[in-house]
Structures are given as C-alpha cells and as structure tokens.
Amino acid sequence: MVGHDHVRTILCDGKPSRFSGPAVMRASSLATRLFLSATAWLVVILAITGVVLSSVYTSATERAFDRRLNLYLRTLIAEVATPDEPSEHQFQSLGEPLFELPLSGWYWQITRIDSEKPEVRASRSLWDKKLPKLEEQGAELTAAGIRLGYVDGPEGQTLRVVERPVDLGADGRYRVSVAGDATEIFDETRSFDLYLGGTFTALGIVLLLTTIFQVRFGLAPLKRISESIADVRSGRAERLEGEFPVEIAPLARETNALIDANREIVERARTHVGNLAHAVKTPLSVIVNEASAHGADPFAAKVLEQANVMRDQVTHHLERARIAARVSIVATVTEVAPTLEALRRTMEKIHRDRDVVIEVKADQAAKFRGERQDLEEMVGNLVDNACKWAASRVSVEALLEPPALPGDGPRVRIIVDDDGRGLSAAERAQVSRRGQRLDETKPGSGLGLSIVVDLAALYGGSLTLATAPIGGLRAELALPGL
C-alpha cells in the first residue's frame, strides 16, 4: 500500500502537502509579497530621485545667483580700479535699484584694508550696517580668487555673499563684497520641491496602480492553477483544465502528469490488494466449511473463530482499497443530520433489549465531504460500541466548524458520548489498535475502532477518545466538511 499512501498524501490527505490548503494560497501570498516589494522599491527610488533632483536644482539656483553677484562684483572692482571718476558718479553703473533701497537685502561694501584705519564705502541699502567678513567665518578662496557663503545680515536676513580681495598696488588693497537676499534661492528651491513632490506623488500613484494591475493580472494564471489544484484535491476535477500562458503551460502539463502517475499508483495498489484478498478468500472459505463440519471439536471451533477473524481482515482491506480509490477521484457530499437520524433508528432496533436511549443533536448545515456509506460505517461503529457499554444513555452531536487555518476547509465534528464505565488513558490507547478487545464477552472482532481510525485518516480526518461529561467514553470524530 505504499503507492496508495503516497497518492493520498499528495491528493487527498487533509494534512499540509504540496497540493494542500496552504499551498493553494501561495500564489496570492506571492502576489502580495511582490506587490509589497515593488511598492517599497518604488518609494525608495522616488525618494532618492527626489533628493538628487532637489539637490541638483538647489546647486543650479545657487550658481545662477552667484553669477549675478559676480557680475556686480566685477563692476565694483572696475569702479575701484578707476578712482579718477568723480565720487558722485562712481558705482552708478550697477543698474540695480535695490542697492539704493534701505535694507532691501541687496548690498555692496568696499573696505580698504591696507591703512591703519580701514576705509569703508557701502551701498545706501546697507544704511549704517556692515557686512560680515567671510574670511573670519572660515570661507576659503576658490580657484577664481573669491569667497562664497551664507551670512546673517541686517534685520535677521540671510544673505548670499561673494567676497574678493583686490590689490591695486600703489592705489591700495581692498576687500570688495556683494550680498544678495538668499530668500530668492530658498523660495525657488521650495517651490521646485513642492512641484517635484506633487509630480512624484502623482507618478508614484500611477506606478503603484500599474504595479497592482501587473501583479493582479500577471499572476492570474498562477491563481487559476492553484484553484485547479484545489479542485483536484477536493475531487471536483481530475486534471488541470484550461488554456495557460506559454510560461505557465509546462507547470500545468507536469502537474497533470504527476496526477496521472499517482492515479495509476492508486489503481495498481488497489488492484494488488483486491487480487490478494480474493486469492485468500477461497482458501478461507474451504477452511470455514471444513471447520463448520466438525463443530463439536474444540480444535475446529478455534480454527473457525480465527478464520472468521481473517475474513474480517480481508473484507476490511478490500473496503479500504475501495474507499481510497473513490476518495482520490470523486468528491461526494453527504448530509450529516439525516444520516445520524437513520443510524439512531437502526441502533435502537439492534439494542432494543438493552433499553438504551440514543439522543441525536445535529447541525442541519453540517455536510460531510465523502460517501454516505463511509460516514455510516464510521459513526455506526462508534454508536454501536457506545450502546454496548452504555448504562442507559448515548448522546450523538454533530457540529460544523469554520476553517482553523487560511486555505483549509470547514470541519464536521461528530461527538458520541455514553454513560458507561468509561476507559482509562491506557485502555483508550489499547482499544484503538487493530483487533484489541477489553472484554471478550462483548460481540465483535475488535476491528471497529481501528476501522474508524483508518477510514477517517483516508478522508484526512481523525478520531480521539476522552472522558464523556455524562461519565463514560467520548469518541470525537473530525472529518472534512462543506
């Protein structure tokens, strides 16, 4: 049965596998990760680009401002170099009215620095103030022989200053400074940053929407494959159907090949089990007939007893192979409440002499994803066992529970309680093993609970034993629901 178990693990087992519920969610989680990664990179790239562009524009604005200052500086130096002109006509060629407007933010200052008492001439706009020396603030001379920097000016103004020492030889040494209001630079830069931020925000939204579109529709084929695999796993389909893009088609093709290969393994394993079981049935029938003919002989009675146990084992394995193949291929839905009600009527007739009351409480919405006869066999074994050991009462309850994890399906939980003597933990472990019986006076082969365990496992379910609130044994069966 190795092949059968392998196929159940891949296609039908409720536990996580390559084609289990969590695997079905991988395409959407991949899309989410891609979207988050793309969004993060988009934000980082736009932020870096914005910082670089803002820095470049600020530098360009400063250079343009400095060219204007240098123009005024060269004009002033030319005026200083021609001192023969009357003082009232000096420095009239600057052509900038702001130099005449008091505290306008535009100033010039010429300081003679080779005399004991420096002579200072300044624009009218500077009023009675003086421009700070860039040399004292640590500004270095550039290759062009000038100093550039920002200083605090009159009335709390921030000024951009260009300063140059001039040596006229016998005519003296001077320091010529021109300052302009740096607010122009800051306003230009701030305006650019606002426009840049708005543009990049709009661009980011467009790119984000484009990314969402690409992730959503670009990964749609993967989502279709995941849904198709879920259909195969649940029995709604046998293969991945539909047309897939060229990039995804090999994945679908190989998945179909894997499904076909494992279906062949199931069929081959089922055939081997069936052949073996049928081969053993004939010799068993001969043994049973011969032992029955010598019923008075104790040895013959023992042989007959063991032959019946062997026949039960063969029947059990044949049934298990049949169910395994059916669960692997076809999905059937069974209403739980009507099935339990029918079992209640049957068990009350079977155990009429024990006067046991069987109570059934079932959620009408509960549906078992499997064959009705399999549900009847599992619950029937549990209820029959409870009736054998109950003092007067058996309770059967069916609940429909939501999925425990994303990607899982709902579960049907069927609880069978009795008010008998119950079982200890060691006894509960013993009775779940095949052929183990605690009381030989009770009818049966000891296969009931092991059959329930095997059938539940084939459907991806489980059976747990515990102490019932009403005093006896609690058998709790968990099965795939719908």
The domain that contains 336 carries what CATH number?
A: 3.30.565.10
Is 270 inside a domain boundary? yes
Q: Where are the beta strands (DSSP E) in 156-205?
A: 158-167, 173-181
Domain membership of residue 105 (yes or no) is: no
3-state helix, strand, coil in the chain (%, to 5): 55, 15, 30
> What pLDDT sits at residue 340?
93
Domains in the chain: how many in total? 2
Pair 371, 265 in one domain: no
Residues 366 and 460 in one domain: yes
- Provide the pLDDT for residue 17: 41
Q: Taking the CB of residue 298, how many other CB atoms lie within 10 A of it?
A: 8
Bridge partner residues of 180 (DSSP): 160
Q: Residues 337, 457: one domain?
A: yes
Specify the amino acid at residue 402. P
Residue 96 lies in a domain: no
Q: Are residues 346 and 324 in the same domain?
A: no
Same structural domain for residues 244 and 321?
A: yes
Do 405 and 365 lie in a common domain?
yes
Q: Would you state the pLDDT for residue 393?
A: 92
Is 277 among the domain residues?
Answer: yes
Among the listed residues 398, 411, 419, the one whose alpha carbon sits nearest the alpha carbon of residue 461:
411
In a domain, 91, yes or no: no
Q: Residue 51: how many CA atoms within 13 Å on its side-chain side? A: 5
DSSP-assigned letter for residue 137: G
Spatial CA neighbour of 322 closest among 460, 464, 447, 454: 454
Residue 38: inside a domain, yes or no? no
Same domain, 415 and 312: no
Domain end among 330, 362, 382: 330
- CA–CA separation, 476 vs 66, rounded Å? 86
> Is residue 369 one of the residues assigned to a domain?
yes
C-alpha to C-alpha distance for 195 and 397, rounded to whole angstroms: 68
Domain end, chosen from 314, 330, 346, is at: 330
* The pLDDT value given to residue 320: 65
Q: Hey, which residues does 479 pair with through a beta bridge?
A: 412
**Does residue 481 sit in the same domain as residue 380?**
yes
Residues 361 and 473 in one domain: yes
- Nearby residues of 159 by Cβ (< 8 Å), 6 or more positions away: 105, 107, 131, 150, 151, 152, 153, 179, 180, 181, 182
Q: Which of 311, 330, 349 is the last residue of a domain?
A: 330
Cα 226 from chain centre: 15
Q: What is the mean pLDDT of each run of 10 residues along the chain (482 residues)?
A: 37 39 51 75 88 94 93 87 60 74 90 80 86 86 90 90 89 90 93 93 88 77 80 74 80 86 78 74 79 79 81 71 57 84 90 88 90 88 90 92 80 92 79 51 53 84 89 90 83
Q: Is residue 295 part of a domain?
A: yes
Q: Are residues 481 and 365 in the same domain?
A: yes
State the residue range of the domain holding 310: 238-330
CB 280 within 8 A of CB 287: no
